[in-house]
Each structure stands twice: as structure tokens, then as C-alpha cells.
Structure 1
Amino acid sequence: MRKNILIISSDHTGHGHKSITESLFEQIKDDSDVRIHVIDGFSLGGPILLNVGKSYGPITRTAESLWKLVWNVSALKPKMVDNLIEMLIKENFLKLLDEVKPDLILSVHPNFNGSILNILEKQQIKIPFIILIADLVNIYPLWADKRADYIISPTTEARDKCIEYGIPDENIKVLGFPVRSRFFRNNPKRKVTYKKGTPLNCLIMSGGEGVGNMKTIAENLLDNFDCRVKIVAGRNEKLKAKLEHSLNSKYGDRVEIFGFTKNIQDLMLSSDIAFTRGSPNVMFEAIAANVPIVITGALPGQEESNPAFAQKANLGVICKDTDDIKDTIHQLLENDCEKLNEIISCQRKFINSHAAEDILQFLLDVEGNSYVPAVNFSYN
């Protein structure tokens, strides 16, 4: 039986939502009767809402305190956010439903859960609605709407937070964080060695928006260790140009600077250590690639608990102060890289390599009403 799945995602608020969606697409076989239609939720609200989505990058790059304020207001007033977005997207969303005729709706962005559920409820449309949480620990109240048929959680920590928000335990499924297959390393015996004449390969990245003190981290590494450093500046073109000007002239071919790249998995798989902020998507891609992570910071709000989460599970270490980079790396390398290799082992045991497959199968197993073309939609 053919199944149409409508995914509400985002193209502009980081790259994690798109990556999650792509990981689910990968699970669809050529002969499958599954059809997935993806829409950027912000595009449903016209220019006003789309510009809000596009502002994520500039705000998180240059004004973390403003981002924290936005996050806190949204967390305190979730119904206000839901009602505002409902008003902006209602007409286009109802038209989309009539066009796609979905058997199930999956939301991977918190801003559209309550708003879409409001619309479905008021229009008396019965379609299974499932939320896939894209954060790890400190989740928005917007992720936890009691009206959703199910909430898929990547971690027990996020599940516990949902329960705090009043979601029944039986409506929450902990299935792991979905990662695209190309990030997984097929080497169960991988180990890192660091000896004279064998440079350490380091990767510095900070999510799709390129935030963080990459220059200072790179200088600490290049001045104190026999290493090669690759830096991913993401969409931040000004940062890329600045790093090229300041680092390439001093360190030559020991450092390479990249902008936004679709081949980030190749950079991860060729690295011994990755330096990143606490972005859940980047963290889990590095864990899938079996690369120990040094977490250098996190966005306030949804990412702030992620570094401690990773360190507690021994998936990486925290180093918020760039002055501590040298000592942190020395500790990882001492005793023939004992700590690094311990992290590699823990990552292999921790990651669910079948998370995307498990999630898609769960979606296909959900039973619900088939979509009935609307005849009484109210667009007013």
C-alpha cells in the first residue's frame, strides 16, 4: 500500500533539519511504495516567516545574546508562537494538504508542531502527526505537544524532558539520532596513533553557520603539535576569507580552509580529532564517523546541555577556553593516545547506526486515517 509522508523541515535554520530528512530518504528503496514530500515550514508563511528563518544564521554568528533572548521568549510563550505561526501558514498549509494528500505528517522543526496541530484540530482533519526531536537534552516546550500521536526522541534525556512537559511515556519512542549513511566508518578496530613523523589530522568546524573562535584554536594546535588542520567555515564567507588571510600565509599547507561543503563526511573520516560546538547534528555525525570530539562551546538554549551530555557518555571532551587547548590535547595523546582510543571505543558502542531505518519503519507502521480531499477548507 502506498504511503505519502509529508515532512515539515527547514532549509535555513542550520543544516541539521535537512540532514535528518536526507537520512530518512536514504532508507526508501527504489521499489518502495513510500513517497516523501518535504517542505520548508518557514516558506509556508510567505516572505515574513521566511525572513525569520533566514535570520537564524546572522543571529547565531554575531549575536548569541539576542539568540538566547529569542529562545527564552519562545520557551516561555509557546502558545503565542504557535498562534502567530498558525496565522501566517494556515492558507498555504491547507493548500499543501490538498495537493500532497499525506497519510502521515512528520515534523522535524519545533516551530511548526503546535501551529499545524492547531490547524488540523480546527479544520477537523484527522491525519497522524508525529514529531521527530532534533535536539538532545535541553529541548524547547515547542517540541512537546500533547496532541501529537507520537514523539520520536533521540535520547532518554530528551524523553525525560518531554515527560516533564506532560507527554505520556507511551507516546514517546526513543529511537536514536538519524545520521546519513555516508558518515559511518567501516572499521571496527580503528585506533589513533601519534608518533614523530605521523602528523595528527585535526578538523575544526562549527556547524553550517561557521561560528566560534576557529583562528585561535588552529593557532594553538599548529604552534604546539605536529599536525595538519582543516577548518570548515560553513556559510560564513567573511570568516573563510579572514582565516585564509591570517593562517595560510603563516602555516602554509599545514592548514586548509573550506566553506560550506557537501562532502563534510570525507573531512571527518580523514581526521583523528574534531573540534566543534555542541550542535547535535555535527556531534552525531562525528560520532558516526568515529572521530573523538573536543567541544569548544554551544549556542545558548537548545545546545547548552549538549557538551556535558557528550562528556558524560565519553564521546568527547569539553574545552571552552582556548587557552586550555594545549593541555586538553596533551591529555588525549598521553600514554599512546589512551584517552582518544577510549573515546573511539565508547562512540562505537553508543551510536545506533540503524536509527534512520528504525524511524522510517516506525512511521510506516503507524496506522491512521487516509487523507480525504478537503471540500470545506476555510482559508479565512
Structure 2
Amino acid sequence: MINNILVISSNFTGHGHKSIAESLCEKFPKNGNIKVNIVDGFSLGGTTLLNVAKAYGPITRKSENLWELIWDISSIKPSIVNEIVELKIKDRFLNLLKETKPDLILTLHPNFNGSILNILEKYHIEIPFVTLIADLVSITPLWADPRADYIISPTQEAKYKCMGYGVPEKKIKVLGFPVRSRFYSRTYRFEKGIDCNSKKLLKCMIMSGGEGVGNMKKIAAILLENFNCTVKIVAGRNKALKNRLEKSLGKKYAGRVKVYGFTENIQDLMWDSDIVFMRGSPNVIMEAVACNVPLIITGALPGQEEENPKFVEKHKLGVVCESTGKIKDVVSNLISNNSQELNKIRRFQRVYANMDAAENIVNFILSVKDADFLVSKMDV
């Protein structure tokens, strides 16, 4: 029986891993006295790995080419990443196991799958090991270690990528993308649709994940110059960007634009929006879908996000507009004919949204039996 769970997450590589951990922790207490220990995997590597994690924000904001190179190297040689991380975290991780004595290990970050499995294997430690993929489509092979007892996939697309990396299908469980419950509390407010005609104020929101990247200023200016609208901009942890946007847009469009830093109440801003412009961040996409607000995807980080715009289009959760020169036409099309296209997107989002994903994941984790675990080990 699973009563004590060790969760390996990340605090500094964006906010998505923490959000997923929070969504699961909302559900664990409903199943009795379950003990959950959440640890930042990078902290197990001391200062060196923590500095690597903290570099994620600056790299993704300032050098997408460098990020793409890092992604490509880790995808081509995942064993090297596993060996380096294993070397750095081994001693602290073994001490952590002694302290916490978990019944199951759950990883939420790809860097700690193969590395931890290497340690468990070398020291003959048998603890059920489950991976929860935090990406939608473009997954690194670091997510797909066939030695894991189970891999929980948020989508069928990620499942097929796992199988392509050699993971047996029976080890992969497609259970949806876990989103914190507060994003779902007003999901069906648009069931009757709305009309964003030329006389009604169009409420726009621009964001780009926790790190605040993307051409927010230009997008905002196009909207404010061409539509009867207000614009909320979320700059995330990027304080320099927040200051620049306030100075450049605040005076010219006073009363029509407001700039936010990192906020814990992002769902409130989404609920008060007719359209959200965003990068292809998996967490932000799924949170917007949970809030039932149409998406306009303006770009994606190379590597883990590059297929997310097509994913959004495939499931009709929003539209893609990677050229700022086309924003005016895209928005005009969405709000024409009494917002016919906007309301169509909302209907598809309500069909796709899975408010039970976090609960289903928790129930599955708690259902992992010793017998399943032993069979899984024999299959490797």
C-alpha cells in the first residue's frame, strides 16, 4: 500500500513543475493520511545543479539558440545527462531515501528519471518508480526511460513519442494534464457564448509563461491601435521586462493597459479575458483551456514546446499566429460574425478539458501494487 510518496520536482526551471506538484497535492489528502515529500531535484546536486536550474530563465529569455543546442545535446546523448546528474545527486539522494523511506518515487522533471533509476539499480534499491511527463508532445528521451515502472503521459501524442523511444505500451498511462483546481472553478461561464463586436470592449491578455519571454510590446501596440480593447500583460519573473513595458506603454495608452509581474492569481486574469496571447508553454496552454479562454499562440521555445502550436490547432483549442504582422487579421476573424470563431474555440475547449486529470493521476499512483511492481521489474 502506498502511504509515503517522494516527489522529485523543480523550483527554478519555469513554474510548470511546481504547478503540477501543487495540483496533485490538492488531491492526495482526499485519500487518507498520505505523506508527500516534495524535493527540488536540482537541490540534490548542490550549488552546481541549482545554478544550472536558475540559468533556465535567463537562457530561455535571452538566447533561444543556446537553449535549442542544450535540448539537442540532451536528446542525442541522454545517457551523458543521466550520468552527470547521477554523480551530482547520488549522496544526497541516498540520504534522502534513508530519511523519508518512501513507498514510491514520483518524478516530475526529465533530468531525474534515468539518473535516479541508475542509483536505484546500482544500490539494489527496489522502490516503485513513476514518471509524470510535464510536456504535451515534444518530449526529450530523458522522459522515456523504459526501466520506470510506469510513465504517466498527459496526451496520446506524448505516449507515442515514449513508445518510439522504446517504452512498452503497457507501462504508459494516458491520464491527462493535471491543472490546479482553481482554474476550473468557472469553466462553463461561456456556455451561451459572447459577442465581442466592434462596440463592445475586447479584453486581451498577453503572457508568456513564468519567465516572461516574447514580443509583448509589439503585440500590445497592435491590439491597442486597431481594436476597442484593453490589454493585460503578464511579464512573469522578468522584472526588467515589466519595467520596460510600463514605461513604454503606460503613458501612451493610460487606462487601457496594465502590466503585471509574476502572480499567483493568474486564473483571475484569464477569467476576465476574451483572448489570451501566449507562447506554447504546456502549463499555460492547459490552464487557459481550463479557464475556457481562447488562445492565440505567438511562438514556442525550440525543443520541448516546438510542436505545441500544432497541438493547439489540431484540437481546436486556439489559433497560431507567429507573425505579429498577421495579428490584426487573426483577431478580426475571431470576433467577426458575433464572435463565431471565438465561441467555437470555447466549445472545443470544454470538450477537451479534463478537470479530473489530477485526481485520476493520484488515484493511479496510490493504486500501484507490489505485484505490479514486481511484474514490471521482470519485464525490464
Scaled by the length of structure 1, what TM-score is found? 0.95
Superposed displacement of residue 31, structure 1? 7.4
In the alignment, the residues of structure 1 paired with residue 136 and residue 25 of structure 2 have an alpha-carbon distance, to the nearest angstrom, of 22
State the match for 2:215 in structure 1.
213
Q: Greater shift after overlay, 180-189 or 133-142? A: 180-189
Pair 35,338 (structure 1): closer, same or farther in 2 beyond 3 Å? same
Give the AA of the match of 2:217: K
1:145 match: secondary structure: coil
State the match for 2:77 in structure 1.
77
State the match for 1:183 in structure 2.
183
Q: Does 1:232 align with 2:239?
A: no
Pair 148,349 (structure 1): closer, same or farther in 2 beyond 3 Å? same
State the match for 1:298 in structure 2.
300
State the match for 1:331 in structure 2.
333
State the match for 1:52 in structure 2.
52
Q: Does 1:263 align with 2:265?
A: yes
1:320-364 CA-partner distances (Å, limit 9, x unpaired): 011111000011111111110000000000111100000000000
Q: How does 1:1-380 map to 2 (within 5 A)?
A: 3-29=3-29, 32-184=32-184, 185-187=186-188, 189-368=191-370
1:9-45 CA-partner distances (Å, limit 9, x unpaired): 0000000000000000111336722111000000000
In the alignment, the residues of structure 1 paired with residue 60 and residue 31 of structure 2 have an alpha-carbon distance, to the nearest angstrom, of 42
- Contact 1:138–1:303 (8 Å) recurs in 2: yes
1:250 match: secondary structure: coil
Unaligned runs of 5+ in 1: 370-380
1:136-163 CA-partner distances (Å, limit 9, x unpaired): 1110000000100000000000000001
In the alignment, the residues of structure 2 paired with residue 208 and residue 23 of structure 1 have an alpha-carbon distance, to the nearest angstrom, of 17
Segments of 4+ in structure 1 off by > 3 A? none
Give the AA of the match of 2:119: I
In the alignment, the residues of structure 1 paired with residue 64 and residue 370 of structure 2 have an alpha-carbon distance, to the nearest angstrom, of 42
Q: Greater shift after overlay, 27-36 or 14-23? A: 27-36
2:292 match: secondary structure: coil
Pair 333,195 (structure 1): closer, same or farther in 2 beyond 3 Å? closer
1:229 match: secondary structure: strand
- Contact 1:2–1:35 (8 Å) recurs in 2: no
In the alignment, the residues of structure 1 paired with residue 89 and residue 29 of structure 2 have an alpha-carbon distance, to the nearest angstrom, of 32
Unaligned runs of 5+ in 2: 372-380
Pair 271,118 (structure 1): closer, same or farther in 2 beyond 3 Å? same
1:234 match: secondary structure: coil
In the alignment, the residues of structure 1 paired with residue 4 and residue 42 of structure 2 have an alpha-carbon distance, to the nearest angstrom, of 21
The number of aligned residues is: 369
Superposed displacement of residue 187, structure 1? 2.2
Superposed displacement of residue 2, structure 1? 6.4
State the match for 2:376 in structure 1.
none
Pair 321,2 (structure 1): closer, same or farther in 2 beyond 3 Å? closer
1:29 match: secondary structure: helix
Give the AA of the match of 2:96: L
- Contact 1:127–1:368 (8 Å) recurs in 2: no
Give the AA of the match of 1:257: V
- Contact 1:2–1:33 (8 Å) recurs in 2: no
Q: Greater shift after overlay, 44-53 or 183-192? A: 183-192
State the match for 2:378 in structure 1.
none
1:203 match: secondary structure: strand
Question: Sequence identity of aligned pairs in percent?
Answer: 60
Give the AA of the match of 1:183: F
1:265-295 CA-partner distances (Å, limit 9, x unpaired): 1001111100000000000000000000000
- Contact 2:187–2:350 (8 Å) recurs in 1: no
1:151-185 CA-partner distances (Å, limit 9, x unpaired): 00000000000010111111000000000011112
1:105-124 CA-partner distances (Å, limit 9, x unpaired): 00010000000000000010
- Contact 2:280–2:308 (8 Å) recurs in 1: yes
In the alignment, the residues of structure 2 paired with residue 274 and residue 193 of structure 1 have an alpha-carbon distance, to the nearest angstrom, of 16
In the alignment, the residues of structure 2 paired with residue 182 and residue 222 of structure 1 have an alpha-carbon distance, to the nearest angstrom, of 30
In the alignment, the residues of structure 2 paired with residue 244 and residue 162 of structure 1 have an alpha-carbon distance, to the nearest angstrom, of 43
In the alignment, the residues of structure 2 paired with residue 56 and residue 162 of structure 1 have an alpha-carbon distance, to the nearest angstrom, of 24
2:82 match: secondary structure: helix
- Contact 1:103–1:368 (8 Å) recurs in 2: no
1:88-118 CA-partner distances (Å, limit 9, x unpaired): 0000000000111100000010000000000
In the alignment, the residues of structure 2 paired with residue 350 and residue 31 of structure 1 have an alpha-carbon distance, to the nearest angstrom, of 26
- Contact 1:192–1:272 (8 Å) recurs in 2: no
1:230 match: secondary structure: strand
Superposed displacement of residue 261, structure 1? 0.5
1:231-282 CA-partner distances (Å, limit 9, x unpaired): 0000000000000000010000100000000110100111110000000000
- Contact 2:197–2:339 (8 Å) recurs in 1: no
1:22-73 CA-partner distances (Å, limit 9, x unpaired): 0001113367221110000000000001100000000000000000000000
State the match for 1:378 in structure 2.
none
Pair 166,244 (structure 1): closer, same or farther in 2 beyond 3 Å? same
In the alignment, the residues of structure 2 paired with residue 2 and residue 283 of structure 1 have an alpha-carbon distance, to the nearest angstrom, of 32
